[in-house]
Amino acid sequence: MTIISKLAIAASLATALTSVSIAQENLSGLVVGFSQIGSESGWRAAETSVTKQQAEALGIDLKFADAQQKQENQIKAIRGFIAQGVDAILVAPVVATGWEDVLSEAKEAEIPIMLLDRGVDAPEDLYLTSVASDQVLEGRVAGEWLVAEVGDADCKVVELQGTVGSTPAINRKQGFEEAIAGHANIVIARSQTGDFTRAKGKEVMEGFIKAENGGADICAVYAHNDDMAVGAIQAIKDAGLKPGTDIKVVSIDGVPDIFAAMAAGEANATVELTPNMAGPAFAALSAYLADGTEPEKFIITESKLYTPADNPQGEYDTRKGLGY
């Protein structure tokens, strides 16, 4: 790829991540609260910076609250936003349950709630819209890749789950299991949470390797996000094995570090999750405030598979520096 085409791809990706696609002048001057989960992953860091960039471009005064992975902090932050009388609230909910009371309080105060990247088990009338991927599909895409990759060969999989009780952990597990159902040669031998972090992914993978004949019995690791996969890659190397070859690595997010690993032959597949959840949420809010247009309740983002055939070095180059 020429330097010119590389720059063109970088520019178009940067624009896709940060541009304000339709005129949303009515958002200028609004105060919007953002209750973010924390900074457990590279993807999460990118979502935070894209959201801040989107808000700035639209003239929104964004009040940011980092919950450090704790639902109680998110609930406190949302109550604080309600007390301040903000115009709308963005929430990336750490887990699925336990939101009904605080979302009802926001509804009572007539403050629209927009969910980002994860869902909640609560009545749909408590939020304006939910912008997220189809997480079951993400798991299915990862599983279908493995099914095609191993063919009829026996394959013992270890699974690194995301945060317990979060919708991506629940749904990505379900989708992967659906994809491998009917393929008796592929079994999930071990499955444990790595909490979506690199450090925990490495630690849990070390345990899997010990329990599975020094890793010799493991055919593939399926990680619910790239950060845990990167941690697992380190654990595989520390055990004297070759990630990507001795143990296949498939995960979800599409962060620069997984593309670097793929370019080095140490990761095999990832399913991209866009960090631009705020763009569609702000567009929905703009239309709603303009004339009461009810947005789609679920705005679904794309889930695209990347493998070493997709120029991982180029993907790394275009993504690094975009807030990941």
- DSSP state, residue 213: G
Least distance (Å) from ligand AHR to the CB of residue 302? Answer: 14
Sequence-distant (≥ 6) Cβ neighbours of residue 232 within 8 angstroms: 160, 194, 201, 202, 204, 205, 221, 223, 243, 249
Q: Please provide residue 273's backbone torsions phi and psi, each rounded to the nearest 5 degrees.
A: -120, 120
Give the nearer residue to ligand AHR in terms of CB position, either 215 or 279.
279
Compute the distance between CA of residue 67 and CA of residue 58 in angstroms, rounded to an integer: 24
Give the nearer residue to ligand AHR in terms of CB position, either 159 or 227.
227
Compute the distance between CA of residue 45 and CA of residue 124 in angstroms, rounded to an integer: 28
Residues in contact with ligand AHR by CB under 6 A are: 40-41, 43-44, 117-118, 168, 196, 225, 227, 252-253, 273
- DSSP state, residue 101: H
Least distance (Å) from ligand AHR to the CB of residue 42? Answer: 7
Least distance (Å) from ligand AHR to the CB of residue 225? Answer: 4
Give the nearer residue to ligand AHR in terms of CB position, either 206 or 227.
227
SS3 call for 315: helix
Beta strands (DSSP E) in 92-182 are: 113-116, 129-133, 155-161
Least distance (Å) from ligand AHR to the CB of residue 172? Answer: 8
Give the nearer residue to ligand AHR in terms of CB position, either 133 or 234.
133
φ/ψ bin of 233: left (φ > 0), alpha (ψ from -120 to 50), beta (otherwise): alpha
Q: Work out the number of other CB atoms within 10 angstroms of the CB of residue 111.
A: 21
Give the nearer residue to ligand AHR in terms of CB position, either 30 or 224.
224
Q: Answer for the pair 161, 200: CB distance below 8 angstroms, yes or no.
A: no
Least distance (Å) from ligand AHR to the CB of residue 84? Answer: 26
Give the nearer residue to ligand AHR in terms of CB position, either 215 or 323.
323
Least distance (Å) from ligand AHR to the CB of residue 134? Answer: 12
Least distance (Å) from ligand AHR to the CB of residue 121? Answer: 15
Compute the distance between CA of residue 179 and CA of residue 173 in angstroms, rounded to an integer: 10
Least distance (Å) from ligand AHR to the CB of residue 127? Answer: 16
Q: Which of 79, 137, 160, 145 is nearest to 113 (CA)?
A: 79
Give the nearer residue to ligand AHR in terms of CB position, either 213 or 298.
298
Q: Work out the number of other CB atoms within 10 angstroms of the CB of residue 298.
A: 13
Give the nearer residue to ligand AHR in terms of CB position, either 40 or 257.
40
Residue 51 in tokens: 């959201």
